[in-house]
């Protein structure tokens, strides 16, 4: 046998040994999560979208409420966007909810309401990237497809001592092929979930619990004493600061709110009227200009009420909120994007977290 064939056979054996140990460990130690008590592709899909950039403990109550409200794919597809965004409120990264809503409508229209189990069809759905497609196909349909998220990248970088930057697409492709080769026949669903659990519970980013790891003796990083150095991850850029202003405009006990555009950051959510302050301009003057341009309204800007700050992945918002009054004889009519809302009805509208915080602070103050 040539040495390359010999190496290949040894690698296959090692991969099979890792997979076997992981499956045994998972059978004993799997986390009991609500979306695991089902093979319903819709429920698995919703859980995966919610779990993007959000911790499991945060997701569980949202997932349970969501399933009461939208128990089937058809129920979600038929719901108005406003209701979907309201149910998502507080989970952040709202494009996830809008894409999911659009994608289930596509499943109803194109596939008769059945989530397809074809890799190309699943991957073409809105908001479904390679990881989510892999998770749906493997977990719900037991298809032998890798589902490589941050947890899996970290586990595999340590198991195989991969020193390349895991933020690079080329490294992800290497890991995907390693996982694909490791999936035991007929057991893709459990295997992919076992890998995810290992990353979430044992092979954590900081202070991994190597002594409890079922595959420790097979881990290249552990054997070489390099667990702490891996994975290698490129440095993220610091978020860019953005100064914003907002107006608290009341009339006859109702508060003026406006809807954000249907594209871009926090699309389709409600907020107080206002916007970004260009560098070097005074916030009060900017607020007057913004309300004139957006609503055709002349306002008198009054006291400064509160400042709030919110960190997004790539931006940090600082919002200064002022009390403002419409100039005498000036009116703002309601429409699709503009509402006068009684304080007790504000809860019916989906606001970004920063505006919920702002409304909460002002109302607590009064």
| Mean pLDDT for the chain overall | 95
**What's the Rg (C-alpha) of the chain?**
25
Q: What residue ranges define each of the domains in the chain, with the CATH number in brackets?
A: 3-229 (1.10.340.30), 240-365 (3.90.79.10)
Burial of residue 120 (CB within 10 Å: 0-12, 13-18, 19+) is exposed
Structure tokens at 113: 């309401």
Q: How far apart are CA 309 and CA 289, in angstroms?
A: 22
- The Cα-based distances of 202 to 128, 191, 207, 325 in angstroms read 27, 16, 9, 56
Structure tokens at 349: 């509208």
Pairing of strands 270-271, 254-259: antiparallel
**Ordered DSSP codes for 100-160:** HHHHHHHHHHHHTTPPP--HHHHHTSTT--HHHHHHIIIIIH--------HHHHHHHHHHT
Q: Quick one: pLDDT at residue 2? A: 65
Q: pLDDT tens-digit profile of 17-64?
A: 999 999 999 999 999 999 999 999 999 999 999 999 899 999 999 999
Report percent pLDDT > 70 for the chain.
Answer: 99
Q: CB 151: neighbour CB atoms within 10 A?
A: 19
| pTM (two decimals) | 0.89
Q: Given 11, 28, 48, 57, which residue is catalytic? A: 48
For residue 176, indicate whether it is catalytic. Answer: no
**Residue 1 above 60 pLDDT?**
no
- Rounded to an integer, the average pLDDT of 112-127 is 96
Structure tokens at 203: 């092979």
Closest by Cα among 219, 198, 193, 218 to 209: 198
**Residue 153 above 90 pLDDT?**
yes
**Residue 5 above 60 pLDDT?**
yes
Q: Quick one: pLDDT at residue 284? A: 96
């Amino acid at each position: 046998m040539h040495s390359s064939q010999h190496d290949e056979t040894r690698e296959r054996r090692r991969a099979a040994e890792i997979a076997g140990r992981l499956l045994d460990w998972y059978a004993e130690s799997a986390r009991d999560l609500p979306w695991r008590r089902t093979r319903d592709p819709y429920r698995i899909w919703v859980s995966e979208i919610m779990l993007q950039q959000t911790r499991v403990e945060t997701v569980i109550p949202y997932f349970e409420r969501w399933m009461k409200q939208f128990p089937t794919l058809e129920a979600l597809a038929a719901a108005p966007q406003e209701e979907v965004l309201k149910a998502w409120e507080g989970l952040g990264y709202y494009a996830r909810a809008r894409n999911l809503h659009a994608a289930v409508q596509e499943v109803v229209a194109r596939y008769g309401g059945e989530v397809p189990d074809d890799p190309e069809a699943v991957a073409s759905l809105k908001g479904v990237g390679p990881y989510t497609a892999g998770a749906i196909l493997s977990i719900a349909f037991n298809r032998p497809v890798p589902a490589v998220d941050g947890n899996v990248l970290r586990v595999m970088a340590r198991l195989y001592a991969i020193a390349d930057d895991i933020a690079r697409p080329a490294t992800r492709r290497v890991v995907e092929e390693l996982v694909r080769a490791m999936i035991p026949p007929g057991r893709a669903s459990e295997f992919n979930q076992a890998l995810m659990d290992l990353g979430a519970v044992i092979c954590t980013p900081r202070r991994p619990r190597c002594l409890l790891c079922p595959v420790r003796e097979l881990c290249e990083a552990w054997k070489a004493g390099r667990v702490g150095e891996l994975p290698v991850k490129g440095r993220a850029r610091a978020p860019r600061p953005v100064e914003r202003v907002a107006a608290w405009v009341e009339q006859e006990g109702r508060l003026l709110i406006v809807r954000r555009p249907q594209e871009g950051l926090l699309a389709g959510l409600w907020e107080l009227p206002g916007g970004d302050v260009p560098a070097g301009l005074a916030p009060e003057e900017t607020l007057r200009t913004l309300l004139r341009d957006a609503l055709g309204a002349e306002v008198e800007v009054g006291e400064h009420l509160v400042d709030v700050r919110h960190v997004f992945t790539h931006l940090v918002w600082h919002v200064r909120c002022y009390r403002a009054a419409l100039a005498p004889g000036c009116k703002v009519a309601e429409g699709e994007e503009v509402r006068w809302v009684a304080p007790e009805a504000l809860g019916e509208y989906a606001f970004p977290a920063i505006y919920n915080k702002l409304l909460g602070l002002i109302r607590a103050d009064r």
